[in-house]
Amino acid sequence: MTTPAYSPGLEGVVAGETAICTVDGGLSYRGYGVGDLSAHCSFDEVAYLLLYGELPAAGQLKEFQTRVAAARRLPAPLKELLAALPKWTTPLDALRTAVSALGHFDQDAADNSRDANLRKAERLLAQIPVVIADHYRIAKGLPEVLARQDLPHAANFLYMLRGAEAAPAEVKALDVSLILYAEHEFNASTFAARVIVSTLSDLHSGVTGAIGALKGPLHGGANEKVMDILLATGGPDRAEDWTRAALARKERIMGFGHRVYKTGDVRAGILKTYARTAAEANAARAGENDPLKWEDTADIIERVMAAEKNMFPNLDWPAGRLYHAMKLEIPLYTPIFAMSRISGWAAHVIEQLDNNRLIRPRALYKGPAARSVKPLAERGEQSAG
Ligand code: CMC
């Protein structure tokens, strides 16, 4: 038998086929570049594209939005569960638990047919923002805000979270971030979802596992750490020294670097403009006198990272700043990523099941050579190593 090829972290390994997305030649979803999509489409259109394979015509979009809006509610026992979670539960952990629980209440949960999975995907697309907003308001002791049927995904989420409609520019900025977060080929969380359903498990299990994978700071959790880093620098005056010192301590600057993109992430460039505009608009509204403080800080860190590490921002870098400028609390940032990526996860689950083969790779064994078991009485204590 030949020795199987080994690549740590599966770097460069082609682990499957997909028609959903490619990072080759710039990121595109089903053939459309993300720049084109974010300039001309809403997140709702992009979610439809990912799930159904083509951009919707006006009538198809309306029907899709109507179905999704009608599913924007949670079973009463889930609301009780959200209220019963310990107060230190993070919004992302609450979301992971809630998606798992939602499987119990979904009549299609065990049906893995394409139609049932599309129905479940639409419901999760609708329910995830409700979970995030409801848990947020429950944790703060705020009264529940019911979902609006007439608002698209981004606008309804901000409405439920804040209890008031957001300004159009804010909705647009959030919407663009959702488009850019929606899908990214075989990233860790999507791959996790595909591994899970490749056993012929179900969509809710795949998405629950995906949320667990998204949580880590090397993946989706990075957008929360971005703002922690910017705040830790204290501002533009100390940003360069802070960054050099962090690099000297061999720390990672979250929001930089990427397993695939080594010369930059096209998504980061698109969202940077929105982060800057949001910072200016919101600081002016709040009467702050240094609206671009965190944008200027970010520019300095970008320069140091390019010069010292030849490393460039990924999408999480401007996303963290955009959400901060929108006065969203940091622990909501990764859940917002999930509220978008559900469209990509579900598309991949469906694609995996359309042409399934169990995902079961090999490991390169590095353990002890073959040996015989000694009877218990003859064994001395040995460290596990
Ligand atoms: N800051 C400082 N050093 C870094 C960084 C960073 N952000 N990223 C990688 N390095 C260094 C790393 O310390 C290592 O150095 P050395 O060889 O001296 O040990 C070297 O670069 C290679 O690191 P690696 O982890 O093997 O590289 P990778 O290509 O597998 O890493 C990554 C990809 C995203 C895990 C990594 O760049 C990283 O940790 N970035 C920060 C976290 C982050 O922003 N994640 C979001 C990714 S994109 C959106 C998403 O999926 O959510």
CA-wise closest residue to 334 among 229, 239, 216: 216
137 and 23 in a single domain? The answer is yes
How remote is the CA of residue 48 from the centroid of ligand 1, in Å?
32
Report the C-alpha gap between 13 and 73 in whole angstroms.
Answer: 40
What's the CATH number where 78 sits? 1.10.580.10
Q: What is the pLDDT of residue 3?
A: 66
- Examine the residue annotation and report whether 135 is marked as an active-site residue of this protein: no
What DSSP designation does 369 have? Answer: P
Residue 10 included in any domain: no
Pick from 227, 230, 258 the residue to mutate for probing ligand 1's pocket: most ligand atoms within 8 Å of its CB. Answer: 258
Atom 45, ligand 1: which residue's CA is nearest? 218
How far, in Å, are 42, 176, 180, 280, 312 from residue 228 at the CA level? 30, 23, 22, 20, 18
Q: What is the pLDDT of residue 163?
A: 97
238 and 195 in a single domain? The answer is no
Residue 6 included in any domain: no
User: For the chain, how many structural domains are there in total?
Assistant: 2
Q: What is the pLDDT of residue 285?
A: 72
Residue 92 included in any domain: yes
Report the C-alpha gap between 349 and 120 in whole angstroms.
Answer: 11
Report the C-alpha gap between 306 and 43 in whole angstroms.
Answer: 31
Catalytic residue among 202, 316, 324, 348: 316
What's the CATH number where 297 sits? 1.10.230.10
* Rounded to 5°, angle at Cα 174 from 150 and 204: 75
168 and 246 in a single domain? The answer is no
Q: What is the pLDDT of residue 284?
A: 72
Q: What is the pLDDT of residue 153?
A: 97
140 and 52 in a single domain? The answer is yes
Question: 3-state class of 173 per DSSP?
Answer: helix
CA 38 to chain centre: 17
Residue 3 included in any domain: no
Six-digit token string for 301? 């860190």
Atom 35, ligand 1: which residue's CA is nearest? 218
Q: Which domain holds residue 300?
A: 222-325
61 and 150 in a single domain? The answer is yes
Report the C-alpha gap between 145 and 134 in whole angstroms.
Answer: 8
The counts of H helices and E strands in the chain are 16, 3
26 and 95 in a single domain? The answer is yes
Type of residue numbered 175: D
Atom 17, ligand 1: which residue's CA is nearest? 250
Q: What is the pLDDT of residue 291?
A: 83
- Examine the residue annotation and report whether 204 is marked as an active-site residue of this protein: no
72 and 156 in a single domain? The answer is yes
66 and 172 in a single domain? The answer is yes
Residue 302 included in any domain: yes
- Model confidence pLDDT, tens digit, residues 240-294: 999 999 999 999 999 999 999 999 999 999 999 999 999 998 877 767 778 899 9
- Decide which of 278, 305, 325 is a domain's last residue: 325
Tell me which residues have their CB closer than 6 angstroms to ligand 1.
9, 187, 218-220, 222, 252-259, 309, 311, 314-316
Residue 373 included in any domain: no
247 and 349 in a single domain? The answer is no
Catalytic residue among 135, 184, 204, 258: 258
- Decide which of 304, 325, 346 is a domain's last residue: 325
136 and 190 in a single domain? The answer is yes
101 and 182 in a single domain? The answer is yes
pTM reported for the whole predicted model: 0.96
Atom 3, ligand 1: which residue's CA is nearest? 252
How remote is the CA of residue 251 from the centroid of ligand 1, in Å?
10
Pick from 218, 251, 341 the residue to mutate for probing ligand 1's pocket: most ligand atoms within 8 Å of its CB. Answer: 218
Q: Pick out the chain residues at pLDDT < 50.
A: none
279 and 180 in a single domain? The answer is no
